[in-house]
Amino acid sequence: MSKPRILVTGGTGYIGSHTTVELINAGYDVVIFDNLSNSNIEVLDGIEAITGVRPAFIKGDVNDIATLDCLFQAYPGIEGIINFAASKAVGESVQKPLLYYRNNLNSLMNLLEMVEKYQVKGFVFSSSCTVYGEPDVNPVTEESPIKPATSPYGNTKQISEEIITDFIHSGANFHAIILRYFNPVGAHPSALIGELPIGVPQNLIPYLTQTAIGIRKELSVFGDDYDTPDGSCIRDFINVVDLAKAHVIAVKRMIEGKSADKIEIFNLGTGNGVSVLELINTFESATGVKVPHRITGRREGDIEKVWANPERANKVLGWTAETPLADTMRNAWKWQQHLAEKK
Ligand code: UD1
């Protein structure tokens, strides 16, 4: 029996590469489509070193529907799509809103056209806890209210969820699973793939590990006057390999016809809220490496606290975030050290 074929857009990116590894390990035939705008072709070497398989790779932009169409002709029988090809920097989205709306929404609509044209069974969409804004109550369930977006990036996630829902309601014949990620962190335990931020990292963990290794002088902790036990913001840090595994379960569920509904939404988080200062402590005790840091002012647009109620994913998908945070921190550090050795 031939392996089910899955298209992974953005498959050389951070979450895309980890998901590709888990898909290959689970016996899928993966085709990656990526324009390499925020990733590196060498990621394929890492995927191959881990799995022993080099996935098919096509360089292209999901905004270019003609190339996308050629891909579906060249790789017939694609049964599922996991869509990671999107821009994700909150701050940049405020500066370049049109880029974000174009990249994140055109690409989604192009892919949905392909779903219909080539009778793809299942579509996994990467959404975010950003859709909950500043929640009134934590942990958040999938039924928690969607709050007005605080950035164009966040708005693209909300609009994308609506586009998929409307398309399904129009009678389009496929299943969709929307995964709302909390804060994905860490790297593959092999340290052969991980997060590769280009330029100065905007997210906490890459900035932290770059500080620990001496690339950055100190980590700024954005605020210690929030209404939280230690005053710093609280997030739900989810291991990237655990997160990747949820995608394999989601795509399998759809292509094997096990979905309970045409569209399903799941929070992907651990269920534990951890503050920025607690995270720094966890990193330091897990690795024995000190992270010079200083409290600075709040970052505009930050949410005070948000963490997941992941029960639906636990029960319905049979998925749990199982990696302890200390292991995740050790893997993030191992990856940073691997990057330093390569230079
Ligand atoms: C944001 C988005 C999320 C998106 C993610 C990826 C929101 C609410 N969340 O997550 O949807 O997927 O970016 O880009 O829009 N911090 C510091 N110092 C630093 C960097 C961060 O203290 O140098 C703090 C932040 O203030 C925040 C926490 O660390 O409290 C996590 O920040 P970050 O990693 O940037 O992710 P989010 O803003 O939570």
Q: pTM here?
A: 0.97
Question: Prior bond to 139 cis, omega within 30?
Answer: yes
The secondary structure element, H or E, covering residue 69 is helix 65-74
pLDDT score at 310? 98
Instruction: Report how far ligand 1's centroid is from the alpha carbon of 91 (Å).
Output: 10
153 is catalytic: yes
CA distance 43 to 288: 28
Complete domains list, the chain, with CATH: 5-185+238-271+309-321 (3.40.50.720)
Instruction: Report how far ligand 1's centroid is from the alpha carbon of 339 (Å).
Output: 22
CA distance 234 to 310: 16
Closest CA to 337 of 266, 272, 263, 287: 287
Take residue 322 and report the two structure tokens written for it: 């199982």
Catalytic residue among 100, 118, 153, 226: 153
Measured over the CA atoms of residue 237, residue 242, residue 243 and residue 244, the dihedral's sign is positive
Ligand 1 atom nearest the C-alpha of 279 is: 29
Crossing angle, helix 276-287 and helix 325-342, to 10 degrees? Answer: 70
CA distance 196 to 70: 29
Catalogue the E-assigned strands of the chain: 5-9, 29-34, 56-59, 78-83, 122-128, 175-181, 183-185, 219-222, 234-235, 237-239, 263-268, 274-275, 293-296
- The H-assigned helical ranges of 125-273 are 152-169, 204-212, 240-255
pLDDT tens, residue order, the chain (343 aa):
689 999 999 999 999 999 999 999 999 999 999 999 989 999 999 999 999 999 999 999 999 999 999 999 999 999 999 999 999 988 899 999 999 999 999 999 999 999 999 999 999 999 999 999 999 999 999 999 999 998 999 999 999 999 999 999 999 999 999 999 999 999 999 999 999 888 899 899 999 999 999 999 999 999 999 999 999 999 999 999 999 999 999 999 999 999 999 999 999 999 999 999 999 999 999 999 999 999 999 998 899 999 999 999 999 999 999 999 999 999 999 999 999 987 7
pLDDT score at 75? 98
CA distances from 135 to 53, 99, 275, 306 (A): 42, 28, 16, 7
Cα atoms in the Cβ-side hemisphere of radius 13 Å centred on 127? 31
Contact 130, 154 (CB under 8 A): yes
Q: Is 94 close to ligand 1, i.e. is its CB under 6 Å away?
A: no
Q: Is 273 close to ligand 1, i.e. is its CB under 6 Å away?
A: no
Q: Is 204 close to ligand 1, i.e. is its CB under 6 Å away?
A: yes
Residue owning tokens 């324009």: 35
Residue owning tokens 């330029």: 199
Instruction: Report how far ligand 1's centroid is from the alpha carbon of 261 (Å).
Output: 32
Contact 46, 61 (CB under 8 A): no
Take residue 334 and report the two structure tokens written for it: 């191992």
Q: Is 303 close to ligand 1, i.e. is its CB under 6 Å away?
A: yes
pLDDT score at 55? 98
Among 125, 200, 204, 233, residue to substitute to test ligand 1 (most atoms within 8 Å of Cβ): 204
